[in-house]
Structure 1
Amino acid sequence: MNQVNYIKQTVMFSQRFPSEKIAIIAADGRKLSARWWQGANAFEHSVVFIPAFAAPQAYLHCFAGYLAQQGWGVMTFDYRGIGASKDDQLDSFVTLDDWVNLDIPAAILEVKRRTRTRFLGAITHSVGGQLLGQSPACQSIDGALFISSQRVIPKLFEGISRLRIHYAYMVFPILIRIFGYLPISKFTLPQPCPSKALLQCMRWGRSGIFTDINGTNVEDRFADYKSPLIMLTISDDYDYASVAAVEALASLYVGATVRHEVINPLDYGLERIGHFGFFHRRAPQKLWFQVEGWLKQLVSEHSLI
């Protein structure tokens, strides 16, 4: 099932545990759409989700609600230019630097303001793991769990998966030049995304180097994250987050204690999980229970520091 269908099916499930739709204000005054779950133990341990690229936060709400039921405080949000944080007058100026330096810090600060929690964790998905390591706010995170977070460098993928990436890197910039934006279709992305942010993300993949919007190498920032990190690879997510791609991102987190875990769909009675299936409302509770167990291990490791 694709990302659009995940989003449609998550809203009803997430209502099983009460949540609050809120607005968080970034340092530059930009208002971002977010949702907060006040789990029973939010003051002990809370997490903020750092989402995938061009993916409105609703797809995270099922797993967020599950964690809240287990007592976690949980924050999800939309980057500026995505989902309910879109602004037609401002989005043409949005870059990944804004997500890194303004949006992620604003979300993390809001969780700290609400809870003063003893443990503040981050759960990233896909590009979220690339962004967190560049953000100054990563130093506020006590432990992180990355789900299919990777580098999207073509040589890290094989076969058709590599060709799909080459196709995107070649065709998407052409479409943006023609239309001024990337049209939504089954051949592009399922959700609109700020063009400058998209072009910057593709430069990261083509060059193999993380740079800011001015072209300055920022890879040394990843060393600032010094807390425990668990990297999850989904064994059948070969199109978006191959084992090699996940390991390539992990290698940048030189200041962290990194542990790798592999999720095999067959171990959970599934034929496949893919890139978004982990967050689906029909994901086996056994799978979410396992991942929450890894989050608890991060809490325990932090308590020993």
Structure 2
Amino acid sequence: MNLPTRPAPEAFREPAADNYAVGGFTWRHVRTDPTRPVVIINAATSVRCRHYAHFADYLFANGFDVITYDYRGIGESRRGSLRGFKASWSDWGVLDFEAILQRAQREFPGQPIDVVGHSFGGCAAGLGASGAAIRRIVTVGAQFAYWRDYEASGRWRMFGKWHVVMPLVTALCGYFPGKRLGWLEDTPAGVVRDWGTPTPKYETRPSGRALGELPFARVKAQVLAISITDDPFGTVVAIERLLSYFESSARTHLRIAPEDIGEKAVGHFAFFRSEYHDRLWPIALAWLQRGELALGTPGQRV
């Protein structure tokens, strides 16, 4: 499929409930249509929203309005040094994602609202107080970094990197200097504490209930969880653990092996690369359009 010339997305600033300005971009069709869905893309932990721009182009070309944004402290939502900056996973979901949910309802009144969530972005999709407004959700490798859920062969190496070295460096610097080290973006210390806490439950992380009871049950969307067999974070047990939080939603888990799409490796981050626009992206598109998997979809239901 040949994608059309990329539209010029509109930059925006949206104040969260605590008045922190969340920055992002909107792909908006010229003509309004109350039947046209708008898709919010929730990024992975410390991945900039610009990483998802080509995927946003693809959704736009297929008839959706699209919003991408960065969580506070990241990319378009960073305001200076992160040393001493306070932000947590709860802030990213309860405040930042909720602000974007409210923006979608205000900017696109009456239009269906869908969400695509990558990694922690799938967890964030369940943290907005306005979650009942979401029609459909697609998550990719979505889990919340419980170390025992990591792929067995690399578990201790990953534990050392993400749960020992990352917190130690953060303690020394006051934030995690990920960009300098080549480990994603710079990351607020509170997010690192949430990530590094060795507990299987989101609500027992340091910020898990800091801003009230978990609102996952408010979400009644059709949820498709996509996992890749060579994703060391997104094992079956990790994906199913997060899916169990969406107790009010109809849930489908699709597990795809790289060889199902003619690849040797895909991993945790590659799904949103443009090289997969004709092999992986149509799976998400079909779900967002119809709430079901198309015939011939690669992979197996879990």
Rounded to whole Å, the distance in 2 between the matches of 1:119 and 1:173 is 40
TM-score, normalised with respect to structure 2? 0.85
- Residue number in structure 2 paired with 1:279: 272
Please, which of 198, 202, 205 is the counterpart of residue 210 of structure 1?
202
Q: Does 1:163 align with 2:153?
A: no
Letter in 1 for 2:27: W
1 or 2, which has the higher helix percentage? Answer: 1
What's the CA shift for 1:108?
1.2
- Residue number in structure 2 paired with 1:18: 8
Identity rate of aligned residues, in percent?
Answer: 25
- Residue number in structure 2 paired with 1:228: 222
Please, which of 248, 256, 270 is the counterpart of residue 249 of structure 2?
256
Q: Does 1:43 align with 2:37?
A: no
In structure 2, the gaps of 5 or more residues are: 294-302
What's the CA shift for 1:224?
2.2
Q: Give the RMSD, CA atoms, in angstroms.
A: 2.6
Question: In 2 relative to 1, CA 257–286 (structure 1 residues): closer, same or farther, beyond 3 Å?
Answer: same
- Residue number in structure 1 paired with 2:296: none
Matches for 1:59-138 after TM superposition, within 5 Å: 59-88=51-80, 92-138=85-131
What's the CA shift for 1:109?
1.4
Contact 2:72-2:87 at 8 Å conserved across structures: yes
What's the CA shift for 1:291?
2.0
Contact 2:125-2:131 at 8 Å conserved across structures: yes
Deviation per CA, 1:130-173, whole angstroms, max 9, x where unpaired? Answer: 22223313222111111110132222223343113321212222
Contact 1:57-1:76 at 8 Å conserved across structures: yes
Deviation per CA, 1:200-231, whole angstroms, max 9, x where unpaired? Answer: 2322xx12222364664877532222221111
Rounded to whole Å, the distance in 2 between the matches of 1:189 and 1:219 is 32
Structure 2 counterpart SS, 1:286: coil
Structure 2 counterpart SS, 1:135: coil
Structure 2 counterpart SS, 1:161: helix
Question: In 2 relative to 1, CA 215–134 (structure 1 residues): closer, same or farther, beyond 3 Å?
Answer: closer
TM-score, normalised with respect to structure 1? 0.84
Aligned length: 285
Contact 1:81-1:194 at 8 Å conserved across structures: yes
Letter in 1 for 2:124: L
What's the CA shift for 1:277?
0.9
Task: Return 264-273 or 246-255, whichever deviates more.
Answer: 264-273
In structure 1, the gaps of 5 or more residues are: 1-12, 301-305
Q: Does 1:243 align with 2:236?
A: yes
- Residue number in structure 2 paired with 1:6: none
Letter in 2 for 1:99: W
- Residue number in structure 2 paired with 1:3: none
What's the CA shift for 1:233?
0.9
